[in-house]
């Protein structure tokens, strides 16, 4: 895996449902995630979104490239799972605050 900041590495390495708590802990208390037209606020809501997405798509993401854009850490990753067109390459735009994820926007 390419070198990633610790909270982003946690986001991409969490796979099993029991890792949901570790994933949620990587997010700041005020964190938001935007994905598939929906916004999720706070670590618990983010954990619930992540668990639902894992159950629905059974997906995994392989980081391919990391860049910085407008103060955000952008990771291009190949996402594979149970969805039409799999695999796809998506952009994950992370805003970090200290050692936590403040915001994440996922898109093409």
Which residue has 């936590």 as its token pair? 100
97: left (phi over 0), alpha (psi -120 to 50) or beta: beta
For residue 40, the cross-strand partners are: 33
d(CA 107, CA 87): 14
Q: Whole-model pTM?
A: 0.93
- Report pLDDT digits (tens) over 12-41: 998 877 788 999 999 999 999 999 999 999
Contact 31, 39 (CB under 8 A): no
Of the options 3.20.20.70, 3.10.450.50, 3.40.50.300, 3.90.1300.10, the CATH number for the domain spanning 6-107:
3.10.450.50
Question: b vs e for 77-94, b when ≥16 Cβ sit within 10 Å of the residue's Cβ?
Answer: bebeeeeeeeeeeebbbb
Instruction: Give the pLDDT confidence of 57-106 residue by residue, as tens digits.
Output: 999 999 999 999 999 999 999 999 999 999 999 999 999 999 999 999 99
Distance CA(42)–CA(45), nearest Å, equals 6
Place of tokens 């983010």: 46
Element (H, E) at 46: helix 42-57
């Amino acid at each position: 895996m390419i070198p990633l900041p610790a909270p982003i590495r946690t986001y991409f390495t969490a796979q099993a449902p029991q890792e949901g708590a570790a994933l949620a802990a990587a997010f700041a208390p005020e964190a938001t995630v935007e994905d598939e037209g929906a916004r999720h606020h706070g670590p618990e809501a983010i954990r619930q979104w992540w668990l639902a997405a894992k159950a629905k798509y059974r997906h995994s993401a392989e980081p391919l490239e990391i860049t910085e854009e407008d103060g955000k850490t952008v990771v291009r990753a190949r996402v594979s799972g149970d969805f039409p067109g799999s695999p796809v390459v998506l952009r994950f735009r992370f805003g970090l605050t200290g050692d936590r994820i403040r915001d994440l926007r996922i898109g093409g």
